[in-house]
Chain A
Amino acid sequence: MFNRESVIGKIVYGGGFVFDFARWLVIFGILLMISHYFIITIYIVDGLSMDPTFKSGEVGVLNKAVYHFSDPERGDVVVVKYPGDPDKKRYVKRVIGMPGEKIEVKNNLVYVNNKALIEGYLPKGTITIKEGSWQLDSDDYFLMGDNRLNSNDSRYFGPVEKRFIIGKTIWILAPRFFSVVTPTYIL
């Protein structure tokens, strides 16, 4: 027979358990989403264009809040919306050229305002192909992958406006663990 008291009791006590944990779940979910969209998140590096700095399959930590308070710096490893498909494609690249600068790729080197950029993080003997010259606007950044022979970057799709830059990679978590430090350049 249907026992109303017993059924309600079970729902309340069973449901009470669900309710109590659901409450924490909701709070947890909201904080997670806020963190993921605005503050910090993790992602997987997919592809070889940042090799050997980042290997394909590595898990990176992305600081999304940093560029609300400051501008990207030369050498930052950023995640950017590909301007050709900003809704779907995200690329991991390094900031090479800053707004207003003139970037040239020639003789296996990158020149910033006619001065050669010394990039210590690149393996010795790295060849930088796809020669060309780009004048950056006041909101443009020139991005390149560290794997210069095998990177689809600003050399191919041009400078990227700041609005497309999502955040800065600050750590690689796994399988290697290290902090991603912005290099210093002498220009």
Chain B
Amino acid sequence: MRREKVKKTPTVDIYWRKLAAFSFVFIFGLFAWRFMLGERFSADQANDLSGDGFITSSQVSLEVKNNGSVYKDGQRIKAKIKPEQDFDELRLIVYDQNGFYLDQLKILLKLPQNVADDTKPEILAIHGVESSRAEILNPSTIVYTAESVGEQSTITVVAKLPKGVINLPFYDQMVYVLSTFSGRFWLGIAIIIPFITLVYLLLLIHLQQRTQKIPTPERPITAPPMALPPAVVGVLVSQDVGSREIASTLIDLSLRGYIFIIDRDRGFAFGKRSFSGQLLGFEKILLSKIFRESITISDQEVSQRFTNHLYSKKMSLFTKEVYGLATRLGYFKENPVRMHRRYQYIGTLLFVFALICFALTFKYFSQVPYAAFLWVGMMISSLVVVFVGSRMPIRTAVGRQAMSNWLAFKRYLSDPTPLPYEQSNYRKFVEYLPYAIIFHCEAMWARRFSGQEFTLPDWFLTEKESLGLNDFCLALYPIIGYVGQNLAVIREPEFR
């Protein structure tokens, strides 16, 4: 029958996810640019002396107490003594663009002990100060003098006090001690914390595995130990539903005659037959995710089904159903979804806490900016908790025994010895292929049939002639892998 070409009306299509992604990158790129440009670093120019205001003089009395508090004309001010490696430092702006001219500004600094001789005083006077100096008035007093102070002048006094004069509060001392650690130290912490978390979790998993030992199969089993859907076998083995569980389900459905796969020169298509047979809940969900009303669905349409939504409720339900079935069969102490979710919550809480601390470090601990790496380390640890913690074994005795049996079957599938060319073995390749995919040994399984004649299964339609086993594998695996992978990633985060 000749197919008539239908001329399609050209349309402008928008891929919403891509549009959103590009918008996201653009908007946040813009924000990043603005954030970083938020800082204007002054190429500060010198101001001329201008004596337009009235001429007068002023005196400021400062006093530093033993505990590091600073008083100005008898009143406590916010200034703090900051500890440095060789001295404790007072750095205080006493005149900042006050808008009037001073003939002379004198600042008297009284120290808590007679240590003026051991104190290094400095005066930083800019923007229109004619001269400035710092002198020792008596053993406990330093006097700073600035002459002809302009309206736009800024004057800062500095006193580097010898260590031991000031008894700094514990908090300040602690911050100082932390500030002495180098960036490399904090970077090391950021690496060590996730590493320790990883080792701790792996140790826990190892201890659990020791107490929940899986009996080692004595010899390979040449047939599946029980009639279980491959996806459920996958959950039993890995405690996780992933792309392989989806891919193996698709092949299993093909084997059972519900769907067929069409291999084309460019792309592929899925076709459906009657769904009237006995389908499990999760199989129905998977089929409803792939197919709509038409009998076949092309690769472009399948791709569109992946991108219709960011998350697929159906694929989440598929995962939930597979976990549920494995749990109902008594293989797990609790539903693996609950266990995964528990570690997701712990990890997320830890991550949010570390993120908040990370931001606060820059705002409130500017003396110790490298401490931010500590929180980066904690954020990485939280991801380790999510990804590794959910591997904690929770199989029951029934589950462990079942897994042992399936591992015996895996030994058969991955045995390097070629199978003899017999009629009984002939159908086994496609029959056991879903399980081989689950056990990550599909290539080894195919190798067992090398040299044998191969007849294409009736559910794999292709225009290519005389397709051998290798060609079949090369055509099938990418299709199944692609579909499985894409269906796996569109599940809601809690089901991944």
Q: Which residues of A contact B (CB under 8 A)?
A: 9, 12-13, 16-17, 19-21, 24-26, 28, 30, 32-34, 36-38, 41-51, 54, 56, 59-60, 62, 68, 79, 82-87, 89-93, 145, 147, 150-153, 156-158
Contact A43 B310 (CB under 8 A): no
Bound-complex Cα distance A104 to B309 (A): 71
Bound-complex Cα distance A28 to B183 (A): 21
Contact A25 B369 (CB under 8 A): no
Bound-complex Cα distance A51 to B42 (A): 12
Residues of A within 8 A of B122 (CB): 158
Bound-complex Cα distance A36 to B366 (A): 14
Instruction: Knowing A21-B24, A90-B39, A157-B126 are in contact, say whether A30-B376 is a contact too (CB < 8 A).
Output: yes
Contact A13 B309 (CB under 8 A): yes
Q: Indicate which residue in B35, B45, B156 contacts A49 across the interface (CB closer than 8 Å).
A: B45
Give the Cβ gap from B305 to chain A, nearest Cβ, in Å.
Answer: 15
Give the Cβ gap from B35 to chain A, nearest Cβ, in Å.
Answer: 7
Q: Indicate which residue in B43, B93, B362, B492 contacts A84 across the interface (CB closer than 8 Å).
A: B93
Contact B91 A150 (CB under 8 A): no
List 16 A-B pairs, Cβ < 8 Å.
A12-B492, A26-B355, A28-B28, A30-B355, A33-B359, A36-B35, A44-B37, A51-B43, A84-B124, A84-B126, A147-B45, A151-B43, A152-B44, A152-B45, A158-B122, A158-B124
New contact pairs (8) apart from A12-B313, A28-B32, A45-B41, CB-CB < 8 Å: A9-B313, A13-B310, A32-B36, A37-B362, A48-B45, A147-B43, A152-B47, A152-B126
Q: Which residues of B contact A (CB under 8 A)?
A: 20-21, 24, 28, 32-33, 35-37, 39-47, 91, 93, 96, 122, 124-127, 154-156, 158, 183, 309-311, 313, 355, 358-359, 362, 366, 369-370, 372, 376, 379, 492-493
Bound-complex Cα distance A41 to B35 (A): 10
Contact A43 B309 (CB under 8 A): no
Q: Indicate which residue in A37, A56, A86, A152 contacts B127 across the interface (CB closer than 8 Å).
A: A152
Q: Indicate which residue in B43, B154, B493 contacts A85 across the interface (CB closer than 8 Å).
A: B154
Nearest to B39 among chain A residues (CB) is A43
Contact B376 A34 (CB under 8 A): yes
Q: Which of A32, A82, A90, A152 has the most CB of B within 10 A?
A: A152
* In the complex, the 8 A-B pairs of residues with the closest C-beta atoms, listed nearest first: A84-B156, A84-B124, A47-B43, A49-B43, A46-B40, A90-B41, A50-B43, A16-B311
Contact B124 A157 (CB under 8 A): yes
Residues of B within 8 A of A49 (CB): 42-46
Give the Cβ gap from B354 to chain A, nearest Cβ, in Å.
Answer: 10
Give the Cβ gap from A4 to chain B, nearest Cβ, in Å.
Answer: 15
Bound-complex Cα distance A34 to B369 (A): 10
Give the Cβ gap from B78 to chain A, nearest Cβ, in Å.
Answer: 12
Residues of B within 8 A of A152 (CB): 44-47, 126-127
Give the Cβ gap from B375 to chain A, nearest Cβ, in Å.
Answer: 9
Contact B124 A47 (CB under 8 A): no
Instruction: Knowing A16-B493, A83-B124, A152-B127 are in contact, say whether A37-B93 is a contact too (CB < 8 A).
Output: no
Residues of B within 8 A of A157 (CB): 124-126
Bound-complex Cα distance A83 to B91 (A): 9
Residues of A within 8 A of B93 (CB): 84-85
Bound-complex Cα distance A54 to B154 (A): 25
Bound-complex Cα distance A25 to B32 (A): 11
Residues of B within 8 A of A158 (CB): 122, 124
Contact B358 A47 (CB under 8 A): no
Give the Cβ gap from A24 to chain B, nearest Cβ, in Å.
Answer: 7
Give the Cβ gap from B272 to chain A, nearest Cβ, in Å.
Answer: 26
Bound-complex Cα distance A47 to B369 (A): 28
Contact B24 A24 (CB under 8 A): yes
Nearest to B309 among chain A residues (CB) is A13
Residues of A within 8 A of B183 (CB): 38, 68
Contact A59 B37 (CB under 8 A): yes
Bound-complex Cα distance A134 to B140 (A): 27
Q: Which of B122, B124, B379 has the most CB of A within 10 A?
A: B124
